[in-house]
Amino acid sequence: MDTSRTDARRPHLIALASRLRQLRESLGLVQQDVADLFHTNRNVPSQWETGMREPSFEHLLVLADYYGVTTDWLLGREGAEMDGPHVRASKRELAAYLRSKEPSLKNKTPGYRLRLAVEFLAGKDPQMFSLSRIARRLLISEETLRHMCFEQAIPTSPVIQRFAHFANLPELWFYQPEPQLEDPAVKYRALVERLHAEGTTPEAAEQKLWGARRGGRRAKGDGEK
């Protein structure tokens, strides 16, 4: 047995197992739902998700289409998709577009800003940046992403983090200039990023951060009375 070949493939199998599980769970599916695609029993997708067995080439294509992602992404090879010249150019154009729109974004919510970025990317390449594909990247359903974009649901901190990383945007941009946030953890992190961007001295930053933490604890205590 060629162990060197097996070892070289192992990272891709680990990525495949992890991402198949993440995608399935993000849609609220059970393993039998995936098994039904291939008219088999739940042991087959279970073995895929534990790395005990690899799907065939044909099955891999079906899985990629079903979840709205590429086979490269499933195998942990983001470079082939995420670093291509076309994708990099689209993300640079997105950053320039958002800078040009900044004067009109005062007090706009994270959901509005998320929709603005998503719609721009979809307009550049409807296939590469389809709503379903972006949703899979964010590990949420397409319906949930749609609700967040149209402010029928508040974008959660993990979703904003993942999208910012996906689109090469600073996370803090979604909360400028004065964030109206429901999640105290997001508000605190936004403050940390703002102080860092403003070049605040460590001593002054610590005082402000301590005040934010104290204010958060006080607000929580008041709410419990």
Q: Is the pLDDT of residue 197 over 50?
A: yes
- How far apart are the C-alpha atoms of 137 and 12, rounded to whole Å? 17
Residues 14-66 have pLDDT tens digits of 888 988 888 888 778 899 999 998 999 999 999 999 989 999 999 998 998 88
User: Residue 30 in 3-state DSSP?
Assistant: coil
Neighbouring CB atoms inside 10 A of 79's CB total 9
Average pLDDT on 75-95 reads: 70
Identity at 10, one-letter amino acid code? R
Structure tokens at 174: 């979604």
User: Residue 150 in 3-state DSSP?
Assistant: coil
- What length does the chain have? 225
Residues 8-20 have pLDDT tens digits of 456 778 888 988 8
**Which of 24-33, 43-52, 128-137, 207-216 shows the highest mean pLDDT?**
43-52
